[in-house]
Structure 1
């Protein structure tokens, strides 16, 4: 009988895990390892992921065509420059892991900046520069864009605002080496039409190996010609946005 009574005294009933953890954590004499082990055995509760910033997600850079998965870039792998001063002070922060570079609207982008970042960021997937209102993309040339493409072959998003000196040669050159392109955007300056012509669209239409996976193309105030229809026919999944006042068309005319 004494043995049975002794066994009954040692029987352990259901344990409240929260109470156990509180007791151990509050017991300064309990070994640290014991407290960690108990904490690790408790079930974890699912956490609701943070809600994206609505204002940030509304920018043109984040607009994806239907069916294209969003490529999320970790904050530590991005770089933003809003002036020459920030470029000079912060450019050393760009590394081989930097995959997204954006120049602000007030930054007058030039070839030397494009070349330098291209050499520093071989894993670059997203590039945006220029300002249609102030023409801050005008100085950039074909040579700099083609050099960036050669160094950054994983490029997926290329946004060239007011890059009115970019011609068909650069557009075709980028498409020849950057096979992961998801969105190419080339726009005009308010006072000057762009130099992209129907030649680029014809090449894109008849050359499957040129930007083979491109789902979205935006060309505003360029010399479109008649190649848009052929391009849409040969690449039915391609979403094309074009137009502009210089072409006598609505600012944006989309063929989805």
Structure 2
């Protein structure tokens, strides 16, 4: 996995709503190429040079490494960013049309200018290459039993993300953004993430997911929401308690939808 671009001193203009607390990094580090980039795998070939933008802990990036000839993972030491966007001011022509595939996972939702980021991802992609992205739609997040704390969590999180310059329903806009960025040939799909006690591993993953969001509510986006006046500290406690109650309920479920797009640079 190369690091030539990631060695640059890069910063995002946006505030990363999730932050980089241990609860966030550990959850992101559990992602795999199979559960987060399955939609892209049929398009990969052994000769491909791939750029993973906003790679975070690199777990997805490492998964690509065994499937393509080379992988470059880029990120910022402080906040997950669209590196291609950050490089726009420099316009380093040596990076034009460098990669066969440019991929971003759950990144565009945090940017105030996702279109600009996609345009820069297009710039560093070779002619005939692919730009791919996967983004969640937070408004689709639903759980059972229906807990008021989880409903309030979703509402407060989405307000906070938008206050920070992002779009928590980015998965619903991927096709529009890609078209606006100049892509005319693309494939849009969706996938559903399900958390349920359907086996030992699934039960552990469900508890991990719930506990992670409980901690993040108290330590990362939650304090931001309080500072913005979107909720009280007491409400954060109620949201975290709801997540922990849900995580320990063996009959509880939680689902949400991701938008996925693969676009060809023609």
State the TM-score, normalized to the length of structure 1: 0.30
Structure number with greater Rg is 1
Between 1 and 2, higher relative CO (CA 8 Å, sep ≥ 6) is seen in 2
Greater share of residues in strand: 2
